[in-house]
A and B are shown apart, each in its own frame.
Chain A
Amino acid sequence: MSAAPGHVVAEPAGGPLRASESPLQQAWRMLRRDRLAMAGLAVLALLAVAAGAGKVLTEWYVVFDPAAVRLPEKLRAPLSVADAERVAPEDLPALGIYLLGTDELGRDVFARMLQGSFVSLSIGFVAVGISVAIGILIGGLSGYYGNVKLGFITVDTLLMRFTDVMLSFPTFFLILTVVALLPPSIYNIMIVIGVTSWMGTARLVRGEFLSLREQDFVVAAQALGLPERRIIFRHMVPNAIAPVLVSATIGVASAILTESALSFLGFGVQPPDATWGNILADGRSFIFDAPWLFFVPGAAILVVVLAFNLLGEGLREALNPKLRSR
């Protein structure tokens, strides 16, 4: 997206165009007016801080220990003060308070949520990264080299039929099958979610490439004899990236939801790694005795996924060239 070439906004549909503004600045101006999207962005900024803090404070400098088991202090309510007599001094929570209570093993829910924020977020981003990479590769190949013949079949037909094949699998069932058969690990979950969700991106990119290929600036670049690599990555990909960015934002949200659904069925990230999904899934057994174990991660997932979805919708509007100059 960086410094998108100026030729994207050849003819804005009416309205004054500020001459000095790059398309990126215009999109930002549009986005800033969308209060819901900005709220989403603010939440995600907070989340990024929490995830960073989670990685640093629970693994590198252990201030909040997510793994400390304190059996005498199990199922304590949020904000309750730790009992220094029953807990070993090195297991006392920071500040001496269980901010979000403790779970059935007396582990600090706040520390686990903090650790989980990094894990959940990285599952979302890595899965979407994989799916976007595959999507751009397949969509780009079939959009740009679509007419090349491989024997009796064109590249476009081959790749798009393959996309159809992938679309014909019931996705969640496929994810479940593969995750259940593979040894449980956080990397397998990221990869499986990514590998089963690139089809939409591939179709988007193919569509964009098909129309970009005919446009004057690409024809000009070809006439100038630029290498194909440069034409594709420097001139075409930046112009095709806007819809991909939107679907990627929403994709992170759905990857986080998929992970929590997998956790619910017992195929998610395995303990001792905490994710919001498996804290929520484990918390459902204590919905009456310790509602915070269920409602804290549930509300956290809701807020974060909502933020991703609202930001994605805001981006869709802001990056849409038809609406841009309003």
Chain B
Amino acid sequence: MWTFVIRSVLQRLVLLVVISILAHSVVHLAPGEPSQVDPSNPRLKPEDIARIREAFRLDEPIHLQYAYWIHDLFTGELKSFRDDQPVLPKIWRRFLNSLPLFVCATLIVWTLAFPTGIAAAVRRGRAFDRGSTFLAYAMISTPGFFLAYVLILWVVDTFNVPVIGMRTFGMDAGSPVNYWMDRLWHLVIPSAISALGGIAVLSRYVRSQMLEVVGQDYVRTARAKGVAEDAVIYRHALRNALLPFVTMFGFLIPGLIGGSVIFETIFAWPGLGRLGYDAILGRDFPVILTLNFIAAVLTLAGTLVSDVLYAVVDPRIRYD
């Protein structure tokens, strides 16, 4: 087991180096530079551009730029091109904003997707199954922002609550109760709306996984010896159907960065996705690269955790 863990960690470190080199090359070799963000600005003279390129070390050979980036990243001296702020604290602040949204949405997805998927599998072919299948496909097939806009209109009309941003301006002057209720409303509605797609996808997985397990011999045996249907479903079948979902924990984390751009834009939520989007618009290479690097670290760590967890929960799997 430990040799497996050590070997995977080493393999992933190599992968990480390759990923960072690749990302660095893509960003630096693609046309478009920080000095060209505003080419129509008449006050930007050639000597200014030369000064900018000099300051950002854009004239160095690309492998040296890579070395500078890695060096600055690990010594914590990496500065954003746009406002000269250190990159890591900047990302950390945005991460703290994204985290509640992500946790809340994930909780909603997992608590709703499992009952739906199990119920659909148990009632295979009946009205509930067909209805939930169709609804799930409809949700997967709708452009995320289209669904979000329609739901925002409905929520605002029906409940008369604010949904955009993290808080209502000026609310901190009110009582703490009002303040926190306001924060909560601002959190719950974006989470619920961004959770819809996840619920649709995950409940499909749960359903097919349950159907697979329900057809197994040991479930038939349990039924044959007269175990109550609820116990068959929840004790014999569900436990085995859950195994693959342990591995999904690992794939959740990267969604923090990649999956949130659209919803953070819709809800004007100052999180990681927005940070990345603004960095891309402003050609802020250090922020783009560091975000990408962190996402890769999270993905690789996630797959490692899921591999290990899989061996922990499933006694049939042994890594030597």
Q: A170-B295, A173-B258, A301-B143 are in contact. Are A165 and B22 (CB under 8 A)?
A: yes
Minimal Cβ-Cβ distance residue in A for B30: A181
- Is residue B151 within 8 Å, beta carbon to beta carbon, of the partner chain? no
Complex alpha-carbon distance, A310 and B133, angstroms: 10
Known contacts A165-B19, A170-B258; decide if A176 and B277 are in contact (CB<8 Å).
yes
Name the distance in Å between A132's Cβ and chain B's nearest Cβ.
21
* A177, A178, A182, most chain B CB atoms within 10 A: A177
Would A170 and B257 be within 8 Å (CB), given that A180-B281, A306-B141 are in contact?
yes
Q: Is the CB of B262 within 8 A of A280?
A: no
Does chain B have a CB within 8 A of A200?
no
Query: Does chain B have a CB within 8 A of A302?
Result: yes
* Chain B residues within 8 Å of A302, by CB: 138, 141-143, 146
B26–A178 touching, CB < 8 Å: yes
Interface membership of A46, Cβ < 8 A: no
Question: Which residue of the partner chain A has the closest CB to B251?
Answer: A167
Q: Given A173-B292, A265-B265, are A309 and B141 neighbors across the interface (CB < 8 Å)?
A: yes
Q: How far is the CB of B279 from chain A (nearest CB, A)?
A: 9
Partner among B19, B31, B291 whose Cβ is within 8 Å of the Cβ of A173: B291
Instruction: Say yes or no: is B86 at the interface (Cβ < 8 Å to chain A).
Output: no
A230 at the interface (CB under 8 A from B): no
Q: A306-B138, A309-B140 are known contacts. Are A169 and B295 too (CB-CB below 8 A)?
A: yes
Residues from chain A with Cβ under 8 Å of B259 in the complex:
170, 172
In the assembled complex, the Cα of A176 lies from the Cα of B32 at a distance in Å of 14
Q: Tell me which residues from 123 to 156 in chain B have a Cβ below 8 Å from any Cβ of chain A.
A: 134, 137-138, 140-146, 149-150, 153
A176→B261 contact, CB < 8 A: yes
Q: B residues within 8 A CB of A170? A: 254, 257-259, 292, 295, 299
User: In the complex, are the beta carbons of B138 and A261 less than 8 A apart?
Assistant: no
B248 near A: Cβ within 8 Å?
no
**Which of A161, A253, A264, A298 is most buried by chain B, counting CB atoms within 10 A of its CB?**
A264
Is B18 at the interface (CB under 8 A from chain A)?
yes
Which residue in A161, A173, A264 is a CB contact (below 8 Å) of B15? Answer: A161
Q: Are A182 and B31 in contact (CB under 8 A)?
A: yes
Q: How far is the CB of A126 from chain B (nearest CB, A)?
A: 20
Asked if A159 is an interface residue, CB under 8 A from chain B, the answer is: no
Residue A171 at the chain B interface, CB threshold 8 Å:
yes
Contacts of B299 in A (CB 8 A): 167-168, 170
Contact of B261 among A173, A181, A308 (CB under 8 A): A173
**Which of the residues A36, A177, A277 comes within 8 Å of B143, measured between beta carbons?**
A277
Q: Is the CB of A264 within 8 A of B262?
A: yes
**In residues 295-320 of chain B, which contact A (Cβ within 8 Å)?**
295-296, 299-300
State A170–B290 Cα separation when bound (angstroms).
13
Bound Cα distance A174, B231 (Å): 46
Instruction: Kindly identify, within residues 102 to 117 of chain A, every residue whose CB is under 8 Å from any CB belonging to chain B.
Output: none
Bound-state CA distance A261–B197 (Å) is 14
Whether A305 touches B141, Cβ cut-off 8 Å, given contacts A165-B15, A176-B277, A284-B149, is yes
Nearest neighbor of A299 in chain B, beta-carbon distance: B146
Shortest beta-carbon distance, B286 to chain A, in Å? 13
Residues from chain A with a CB closer than 8 A to the CB of B141 are 253, 257, 301-302, 305-306, 308-309
Write the A86-128 contact mask toward B (1 if CB under 8 angstroms, else 0): 0000000000000000000000000000000000000000000
Asked whether B23 is an interface residue with its Cβ less than 8 Å from the other chain, the reply is yes
CB-CB under 8 A from A257, the residues of chain B are 141, 143-144
A178-B30 contact, Cβ under 8 Å, with A170-B257, A309-B137: yes
Chain B at the A interface: SS class: helix
Q: How many residues of A contact B (CB 8 A)?
A: 40
Which interface residue of B15, B137, B262, B281 has the most chain A CB atoms within 10 A? B137
Those of A257-302 within 8 Å (CB) of chain B = 257, 260-261, 264-265, 277, 280-281, 284, 287, 294, 298, 301-302
B202 vs chain A, min Cβ distance (A): 16
B271 sits at the interface (CB 8 A): no
Are A298 and B143 within 8 A (Cβ)? yes
- A14 at interface by CB-CB < 8 Å: no
Complex partner residue of B149 from A165, A260, A287, CB under 8 angstroms:
A287
The distance in angstroms between the C-alpha atoms of A313 and B258, with both chains bound, is: 26
Residues on A with beta carbons closer than 8 Å to the beta carbon of B265: 264-265
B276 at interface by CB-CB < 8 Å? yes
**Contacts of A277 on B, CB cut-off 8 Å?**
143
Q: Which residues of A contact B31 (CB under 8 A)?
A: 181-183
Residue of A with least CB distance to B295 = A170
Distance (Å) between the CB of B148 and the closest chain A CB? Answer: 10
Contact A168 B300 (CB under 8 A): yes
Whether B296 pairs with A169 at a CB distance below 8 angstroms is yes
Q: How far is the CB of A194 from chain B (nearest CB, A)?
A: 16
Q: 10 interchain pairs (CB within 8 A)?
A: A36-B134, A165-B22, A170-B295, A173-B276, A173-B292, A176-B276, A177-B280, A178-B30, A264-B143, A313-B137
The 8 closest A-B pairs by CB, nearest first: A170-B258, A181-B30, A305-B141, A306-B141, A298-B146, A168-B299, A260-B143, A170-B295
Interface positions of A (Cβ within 8 A of B): 36, 161, 164-165, 167-174, 176-178, 180-183, 253, 257, 260-261, 264-265, 277, 280-281, 284, 287, 294, 298, 301-302, 305-306, 308-310, 313
Given A173-B257, A181-B27, A310-B137, 19 extra CB contacts under 8 A: A165-B18, A168-B295, A170-B299, A173-B258, A173-B261, A173-B276, A176-B276, A177-B288, A181-B280, A257-B144, A261-B143, A261-B145, A264-B265, A265-B277, A287-B149, A287-B153, A298-B150, A306-B137, A313-B137
- Residues on B lying within 8 angstroms of A by beta carbon are 11, 15, 18-19, 22-23, 26-27, 30-32, 134, 137-138, 140-146, 149-150, 153, 254, 257-259, 261-262, 265, 276-277, 280-281, 283, 288, 291-292, 295-296, 299-300
